[in-house]
């Protein structure tokens, strides 16, 4: 019975990767309810194309669908806000805030002291295109190649987005801590 084989294969893939999918959806939507709505739609969409595609990397494939569903939701809710993403035109080294500052390195210490709230706030402030690469790399531990598949961009773009995500996060965290201590 091909139908039931594909169903059980799909169930297996879903059980294995639901935690990662849920995690990504929570980072790319605002509320738990939004995340669950998006996930349900993504899961059904994924199931419909599972037979046809038989993805070689079910994780990247499922995360890609989840990611696209999250962006669909964002497009709907921000239709008026018109928040289109543009790749940062700055060269990478100019985006890095630290070159040329004194050696003592207080920033690293500040970063280490950053509490959960500050870090989460900073990450939520990033453009989702930067947020997703950071979450996929640092928390999910995906390789660049897999991140490229999820985000639908070349590996070079993954590298530059990740670099900018890190640079922006550092600026945001340090700024918010300096505000606190001031």
Partner 1 sequence: MTCAEANRLIGPWLDDELDVRSIVELEGHIARCPTCGQEKNELLALRETAREQLPRFDPPPGLEERFLRAVRKIAAPRSRPAHRWLREAGLMAAAACLAVTATVSLQRSVDPRDEIVDAHLRSLQAGHLTDVASSDQHTVKPWFQGKIDFGVPVSDFAAEGFPLVGGRLDMVAGRPVAALVYRRRQHLINVFVGPAAHRDQPLRSVSSRGYQLSSWAQGGLQYRLVTDVAAPEADQLVALLRAI
Q: Specify the residue, 57 or 163, whose C-beta has the smaller distance to partner 1.
A: 163
Q: At its nearest, how many Å lie between partner 1 and the CB of residue 182?
A: 21
Structural tokens at position 8:
């059980």
Q: At its nearest, how many Å lie between partner 1 and the CB of residue 4?
A: 7
Contact residue for partner 1 among 126, 137, 150, 151 (CB under 8 A): 137
Burial of 149 (0-12, 13-18, 19+ CB in 10 A): buried
111 binds partner 1 (CB under 8 A): yes
Contact residue for partner 1 among 81, 89, 116, 182 (CB under 8 A): 116
Indicate left, alpha or beta for 142 from its phi (over 0: left) and psi (-120 to 50: alpha).
beta
- Sole residue written with tokens 């690293």: 108
Contact residue for partner 1 among 83, 85, 90, 105 (CB under 8 A): 105
Hey, is 55 helix, strand or coil? coil
DSSP notation for 121-143: HHHHHS-HHHHHHHIIIIIT---
Which of 174, 146, 175 has the alpha carbon at shortest distance from 162?
A: 146
CB 16 within 8 A of CB 58: yes
Q: Which residues bind partner 1 (CB under 8 A)?
A: 1, 3-4, 7, 10-11, 14-15, 18-19, 22-23, 26-27, 32, 35-37, 39-41, 43-45, 47-48, 72, 75-76, 79, 92-93, 96, 98-101, 103, 105, 107-109, 111-112, 114-116, 119-120, 123, 134, 137-139, 143-144, 159, 162-163, 166, 169-170, 173
């Amino acid at each position: 019975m091909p139908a039931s084989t594909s169903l059980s294969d799909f169930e297996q893939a879903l059980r294995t990767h639901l935690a990662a999918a849920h995690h990504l959806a929570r980072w790319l939507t605002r509320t738990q309810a939004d995340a669950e709505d998006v996930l349900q739609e993504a899961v059904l969409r994924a199931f419909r194309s599972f037979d046809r595609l038989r993805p070689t990397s079910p994780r990247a494939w499922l995360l890609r669908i989840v990611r696209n569903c999250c962006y669909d939701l964002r497009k709907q809710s921000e239709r008026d806000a018109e928040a289109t993403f543009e790749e940062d035109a700055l060269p990478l080294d100019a985006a890095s805030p630290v070159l040329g500052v004194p050696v003592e390195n207080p920033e690293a210490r500040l970063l280490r002291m950053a509490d959960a709230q500050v870090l989460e706030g900073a990450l939520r402030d990033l453009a989702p295109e930067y947020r997703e690469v950071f979450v996929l790399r640092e928390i999910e531990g995906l390789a660049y190649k897999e991140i490229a598949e999820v985000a639908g961009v070349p590996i070079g773009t993954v590298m530059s987005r990740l670099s900018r995500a890190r640079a922006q996060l550092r600026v945001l965290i340090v700024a918010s801590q300096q505000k606190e201590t001031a």
